[in-house]
Structures are given as structure tokens and as C-alpha cells.
């Protein structure tokens, strides 16, 4: 099968297309013929090894000292089941599925455990759109649930036009919150279309210097300092540090000891039940994926470059199968 291999740490050019062996599913696995995948911010960080200093050494030991131990990146996928293991009962050959399973999705085939974050696709959705859902939606859902979002709360989404932020806006709105999105002026219309009640252009205004006070800040950018957090939130405000780096865990421990405000830093748990919940919300038209751009599999390095630019709006999709349009019909 064709696979996108990361030959070393570095720029997008270190990712090349090569032939590798097609996986054989174990008894508890399904074999997905990948029709579409994405390049996420996580893929970009792992490729370039942009790791917080506090985690540099353990990450290097885990990921590979001189070169990547796991050469195939990719966490999101959408495709068709070609085979199922003997003990698999939830899925059948021919099912159209999507999901999130870190490493190995940048390939024509991917073996996935039956109990991983995998589900049948929402009806009427094509593979591109399905692949653009799991990472952003599951991450946003995980953090918003940690904050116990309730109707009437004021939620600020920092980085509202990104893959996580776009779903953060929609999900917070679904839970009844008043949502303010922070993005560039060029993305304001998109963020409003996702349901934001207000939009702040970060290029012209620092949200922490406004008179508004928020109950929850969902920070997908990683630039909300403790000072900005205190200025912008109510006395019991919560900062959801989606992309806070290694210091986020230190700040989370600090706020547990001092004051009533709280920083929540965690690694998202990707569960099948949550993905099924997201699927049902998509099927009902409550939330929708946002696609920044589409790239051919052979041009996956261009997809990495797009993510590296920091200007993407939603997901950067890679169309793996040449006959994608036919298979999606």
C-alpha cells in the first residue's frame, strides 16, 4: 500500500510517499480502507518535534532519539471497512466509518481496534467531511465537559476558527452558553456562521482588556497567560488549556492551591461513546465540520505546510483514495 513516511524530524519535506506492507487486522481489529485523512496540529508538532522544553527528553525517548520510531503520522480517518477480525461484533465489512486513532492514518489502509474511537459515519456525509470531525470535536467536547458548561454561562473560545475552536464554538452554543470567538477579522464571518454571539479580532483588541468577564475560556492557541486569565474571567472562572504546553500543568497545580479560579490541563480521552454522540449531533445538523483545504495524497507535504502556516481554518484534509468521489456516492 502507499504510505506517507516521516524519514526524520523537520520540515514538511521529510514526509515522502512510499510502498509498505498492508496491515492484517487482529481478532479485535477492523481494517479500514482509508478514503480521507487529515494533517492536524498534532501531526505537525510531532513531525517537526516542536515539544515543550519540560517534555523534550521524555518525548525524544518515547518518539525516537535520532529519528521517529513511528514513521507514519495521522490520527483522523474516514473510509470503508475491508475486513474485520474474528471477535469483532460492532462492525461489518462494507461499513462506512470514521474515527481517531493516533499514528498510522496517513496510509491507504489502517487497522483499528474495535473499541477505539471509531463509529459509523453520519448519513449523507462524504469522506472528506467525516475525516474533518474527530480530532476537533472530541477535543472540544472533552474540555467543555470538564468545565461542566451550563446554559447561560459566558464562554470565550480563543482560536475560534481552528479545528478545535470551530467545534468549541458550536458545542458551547449547543449547551446554551453565550459564546464569544477570538479570531482574525478575516475569519469573523466563519465564526459567526458557527453560532458565535460575538467575535473579537485579536489583531485589534486584547480580549482581556475589554470590560467583558467570562465564566470559561477555551484556549486552543496557548497564549492565555495567568494575568490575561484573571483579567478576563469571573471570580470562579475556568481556563481550559487545550494547547497550553508543559507550563499549563504547572499553572493547573498552582491554581488548585491558590484562589478560586481554575486552570484545567489534560490529555483528551478519545472514547467511542463520545464519537457516537458527536456523530448524532452532526446527523441532526447541530454541529458541522469546517474544511480549510483539500490535498491529494501525493501532495501531503503541502498539507503539512498549510498547517505550519498557522492560518488554517478548520481541518486540512488529505484525500487518500483516487476513487473517493465514486466511493462516497
User: How confident is the model over 138-184, as pLDDT tens digits?
Assistant: 999 999 999 999 999 999 999 999 999 999 999 999 999 999 999 99
- Please report which confidence band the pLDDT of residue 278 belongs to, taking 50, 70 and 90 as the band edges: very high
Task: Select the more confidently predicted residue: 160 or 323.
Answer: 160
Burial of residue 231, with CB atoms counted within 10 A of its CB: 0-12 exposed, 13-18 middle, 19 or more buried: middle
pTM of the entire predicted model:
0.91
pLDDT for 264: 84
* Domains recognised in the chain with CATH numbers: 2-133+290-328 (3.90.180.10), 135-264 (3.40.50.720)
Cell of 86: 474474528
Stretch 56-69: mean pLDDT = 90
Question: 209-262, pLDDT tens digit by residue?
Answer: 988 999 999 999 989 988 899 999 999 999 999 976 556 655 655 566 566 789
Residue 217 pLDDT: 97
Place of cell 465564526: 191
Residue 188 clears pLDDT 90, i.e. is over it: yes
Rounded-to-integer distance, Cα 221 and Cα 219, Å: 6
Q: How far is CA 162 from CA 70, 135, 250, 264, 292, in A?
A: 26, 11, 25, 20, 9
pLDDT(103) > 70:
yes
167 neighbors 136 (Cβ within 8 angstroms): yes
Amino acid at each position: 500500500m502507499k504510505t506517507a513516511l516521516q524519514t526524520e524530524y523537520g520540515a514538511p519535506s521529510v514526509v515522502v510517499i512510499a510502498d509498505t506492507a498492508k496491515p492484517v487486522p487482529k481478532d479485535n481489529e477492523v481494517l479500514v480502507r482509508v478514503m480521507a485523512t487529515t494533517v492536524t496540529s498534532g501531526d505537525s508538532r510531532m513531525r517537526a518535534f516542536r515539544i515543550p522544553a519540560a517534555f523534550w527528553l521524555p518525548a525524544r525517548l518515547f518518539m525516537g532519539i535520532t529519528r521517529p520510531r513511528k514513521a507514519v503520522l495521522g490520527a483522523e480517518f474516514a473510509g470503508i471497512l475491508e475486513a474485520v477480525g474474528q471477535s469483532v461484533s460492532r462492525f461489518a465489512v462494507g461499513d462506512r466509518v470514521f474515527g481517531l486513532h493516533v499514528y498510522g492514518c496517513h496510509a491507504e489502509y489502517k487497522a483499528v481496534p474495535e473499541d477505539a474511537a471509531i463509529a459509523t459515519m453520519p448519513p449523507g456525509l462524504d469522506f472528506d467531511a467525516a475525516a474533518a470531525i474527530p480530532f476537533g470535536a472530541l477535543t472540544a467536547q472533552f474540555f467543555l465537559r470538564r468545565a461542566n458548561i451550563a446554559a447561560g454561562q459566558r464562554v470565550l473560545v480563543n482560536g475560534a476558527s481552528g479545528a478545535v475552536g470551530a467545534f468549541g464554538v458550536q458545542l458551547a452554543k449547543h449547551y446554551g452558553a453565550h459564546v464569544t470567538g477570538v479570531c482574525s477579522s478575516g475569519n469573523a464571518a466563519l465564526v459567526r456562521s458557527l453560532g458565535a454571539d460575538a467575535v473579537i479580532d485579536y489583531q485589534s483588541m486584547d480580549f482581556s482588556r475589554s470590560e467583558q468577564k467570562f465564566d470559561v475560556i477555551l484556549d486552543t492557541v496557548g497564549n492565555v497567560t495567568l494575568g490575561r486569565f484573571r483579567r478576563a474571567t469571573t471570580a470562579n472562572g475556568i481556563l481550559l488549556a487545550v494547547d497550553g504546553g508543559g507550563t499549563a500543568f504547572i499553572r493547573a497545580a498552582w491554581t488548585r492551591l491558590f484562589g478560586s479560579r481554575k486552570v484545567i490541563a489534560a490529555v483528551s480521552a478519545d472514547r467511542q461513546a463520545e464519537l457516537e454522540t458527536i456523530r448524532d449531533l452532526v446527523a441532526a445538523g447541530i454541529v458541522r465540520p469546517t474544511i480549510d483545504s483539500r490535498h491529494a495524497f501525493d501532495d501531503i507535504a503541502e498539507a503539512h505546510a498549510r498547517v505550519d502556516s498557522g492560518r488554517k481554518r478548520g481541518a486540512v484534509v488529505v484525500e487518500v483514495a483516487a476513487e473517493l468521489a465514486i466511493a462516497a456516492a
